[in-house]
Amino acid sequence: MNQMAERVAIIDASDLVLGRMASLVAKRSLNGEKVIIVNAEKAVISGKRLSIIKESHDFLQIGHPRKGPFHPRIPDDIVKRTIRGMLPWKKPKGRQAYKRIQVFIGIPEEFKEKEKETFPEADASNLRCPYIRVSQLAESIGWKPKGR
């Protein structure tokens, strides 16, 4: 571990564009910062709803159910996998950076009182096109949220 105290950033993913948020989180993690993402299901993916869902369904057809590759269907796993795509995964520094990232659905009790950051440059209000929430995508490819 580092000599100095590890920096921790808690990021609220509500209404943030998934790809832009993922690239910023990946960069921070590569710089040695521990990143915790809350409200992962509220992140958005830009584009037409039906084309995004169709693309995901087509991607799920690749592979074997038992042998893989295995595709994420839960919102926090979708977000974490997107971030992994922005990291140099096959190098040790990329794997270490990936271990510094935690993603949660909703806000866990231990982070409710802590101050949360957001990225103004990744805000969905800047979009001029249609978009879909990660939770809607996850439900369309097989995720069943608790309480239903």
Whether pLDDT at 142 is above 80: yes
What mean pLDDT do residues 58-79 have? Answer: 93
Question: Cβ contacts of residue 14 below 8 Å, gap of 6+?
Answer: 39, 42, 43, 118
Domain 8-140 CATH class label:
alpha beta
**Res. 146 pLDDT band, cuts 50 70 90:** confident
User: What mean pLDDT is reported for the chain?
Assistant: 93
Q: What pLDDT digit, counting tens, does each position of 19-39 carry?
A: 999 999 999 999 999 999 999
pLDDT at residue 5, as a whole number: 61
* Structure-block tokens of residue 120: 């103004």
Per-residue H/E/C for the chain: CCCCCCCEEEEECCCEEHHHHHHHHHHHHHCCCEEEEECHHHCEEECCHHHHHHHHHHHHCCCECCCECCCCCCHHHHHHHHHHCCCCCCCHHHHHHHHCEEECCCCCHHHCCCCCECCHHHEHHHCCCCEEEHHHHHHHCCCCCCCC
Domain ranges of the chain: 8-140
pLDDT at residue 27, as a whole number: 97
Q: How far apart are CA 130 and CA 133, in angstroms?
A: 10
